[in-house]
Amino acid sequence: MRSAKGTMAALRALWRLRGPSGLSAAPARLGPAPARSRQWQPDTEWAQQFAGAIMYPSKATEKWVPPPLNDKDPVAHKKVSSLTINFGPQHPAAHGVLRLVLELSGETVKRCDPHVGLLHRGTEKLIEYKTYLQALPYFDRLDYVSMMCNEQAPVSPV
């Protein structure tokens, strides 16, 4: 641990190295004062030398004209009347039990073609030798979003 006397000695040594030159109080002045000198600014005459198509023209290229500054390609527009997408078993909102082929016009669904073949999962084979009561849990697993609707079909005839 350094003593207070040693700390003060170190501070005095640093002060001697820096000296009372006043550099810490006032900024350094380098060169003439800015108020008395003029600063060069580019003017029109200076910019004209770079106005050509290339910087160092030859006889073949001195007649080239640069394109206008606002020369832009027109924005490409494509008219899309309808878009067909798969809202299928891989979509997180489809729950893996249904595939929809949707034809969209903007955000409006114009046509929907449902494919329910993914609902099978071998359920028919699993419940071949079971009673109605034993088969009910299998129907719940066909579509976990609307379970009661799937139970209604096999229970109704009973």
For 130, the token pair is 């079971």
Q: What digits encode the pLDDT tens for the residues 81-108?
A: 888 888 876 656 555 667 888 999 888 9
Interval 9-37: pLDDT, tens: 777 776 666 655 545 555 555 555 556 66
The answer to whether residue 154 sits within a structural domain is: yes
Same domain, 158 and 126: yes
Angle among Cα 79, 85, 87 to the nearest 5 degrees reads 150
Residues 145 and 155 in one domain: yes
Range of the domain at 91: 82-119
Say whether both 137 and 112 belong to one domain: no
Domain assignment present for residue 132? The answer is: yes
Q: Residue type at 110?
A: K
The DSSP code for 93 is: T
Judged by average pLDDT, the poorest of 9-23, 57-71, 114-128 is 9-23
Check residue 131 and give its pLDDT.
87
Tell me, yes or no, whether 89 and 103 share the same domain.
Answer: yes
Residue 52 near residue 64, CB atoms below 8 Å: yes
Residue 114 sits in the same domain as residue 135:
no
Do 141 and 156 lie in one domain? The reply is yes
- Same structural domain, 106 and 139: no
Looking at the domain assignment, is residue 111 inside a domain?
Answer: yes
Quote the number of domains for the chain: 2
Backbone angles phi, psi at 124, to 5 degrees: -60, -40
130 lies in some domain:
yes
Residues 127 and 100 in one domain: no
